[in-house]
Amino acid sequence: MITEQLEKINKFTRRELTAEDVYIFPVVLCDNDIDRDCERFSLAALEQLQKLFIGRTGIFDHDAKSSHQSARIFDTEIVTDTSRSSKNGEPYTFLRAMVYMVRTDENKGLIAEIDGGIKKEVSISCSASERICSICGSDKTKSGCAHVKGSIYGGKLCHTVLSGITDAYEWSFVAVPAQVNAGVTKHFSADETVQCTGGCIEEAERELRRDIRRLAFFCGGNERVKSVSEKSADFNVHELIGLKKTLEAEKSSEGAVIQLSAQCGEKEALSEFSMK
């Protein structure tokens, strides 16, 4: 097993590493359960993420500085636990990654914290182009619907099914994970308009403002967040989309990484290491 793992690890290195050189550990990146933001990944999305996360680096608190890169994913697998079900009634399925770190004097403390369960929680950054309403099947990136996430319709919890994964940015150790898939970025429509009314508009505005605050932070820290928030306080949805597009372009030019944390009401932390 270690020989096979080293072969995969050495695809990313400039010199051949040995078993003594590396520290290897597993981590659960995300799953198909309904999360704190009333969203879940489809099985197709997990399969897309399985491929995209190979080679992605792990950092801290989604800080994009290269000095904060601590580990790299060298293998992934999708695992189904038939002994438990997701909140949606499907067999619980998760994406597990194998991660390596190069042993150094500087990271002895980090390795000890991982082994001791101190450094444990993670969240991911990725981009989903499809956001399907679980009640009516509408793709909210193209058109809206009247259903509100977190509400009950006909005895079923309304949530958004995330699919069409276009990119996976990174995964991060975090002190307080919002949810497993806290890093999903939102896209509303191909022509940069939001075709919905009522609660859907309110939901879109909340998500846009959250995206904008996160992008502004990566582009210029707390001062940038403050100035952008003040500037956009009275913006409508269409103006917010334009501002987000501008910040995304600025972020791309600076090589920053998006990570959007989500807020909802679940008590349990869905983001955890799986040491099985």
pLDDT range class, residue 45, cuts 50, 70, 90: very high
pLDDT range class, residue 28, cuts 50, 70, 90: confident
Q: Which distant-in-sequence residues (6+ apart) come within 8 Å of 94 by Cβ?
A: 28, 29, 30, 31, 32, 46, 78, 79, 81, 274
- The average pLDDT across 247-255 equals 67
What pLDDT, on the 0 to 100 scale, is given for residue 258?
Answer: 37
Top-confidence residue, 189 or 154: 154
For the chain, what is the mean pLDDT? 76
pLDDT tens digits for 105-149? 988 888 888 888 777 667 787 888 899 999 999 998 787 788 988
Strand, helix or coil at 10?
coil
Q: How far apart are CA 223 and CA 34, in angstroms?
A: 34
User: For tokens 């009640």, what's the residue?
Assistant: 135
What pLDDT, on the 0 to 100 scale, is given for residue 169?
Answer: 79
pLDDT range class, residue 223, cuts 50, 70, 90: confident
Residues present in the chain in total: 276
What pLDDT, on the 0 to 100 scale, is given for residue 49?
Answer: 94
What pLDDT, on the 0 to 100 scale, is given for residue 273?
Answer: 33
What pLDDT, on the 0 to 100 scale, is given for residue 123?
Answer: 78
What pLDDT, on the 0 to 100 scale, is given for residue 120?
Answer: 65
- Tell me the whole-structure pTM to 2 decimals: 0.65
CA-to-CA separations, 230 to 24, 95, 216, in angstroms, rounded: 45, 39, 12
pLDDT range class, residue 203, cuts 50, 70, 90: low
What pLDDT, on the 0 to 100 scale, is given for residue 36?
Answer: 76
Handedness of CA 92, 55, 163, 259 (dihedral sign): positive
Q: How far apart are CA 258 and CA 32, in angstroms?
A: 22
The token pair that represents 141 in the structure block: 């990136």
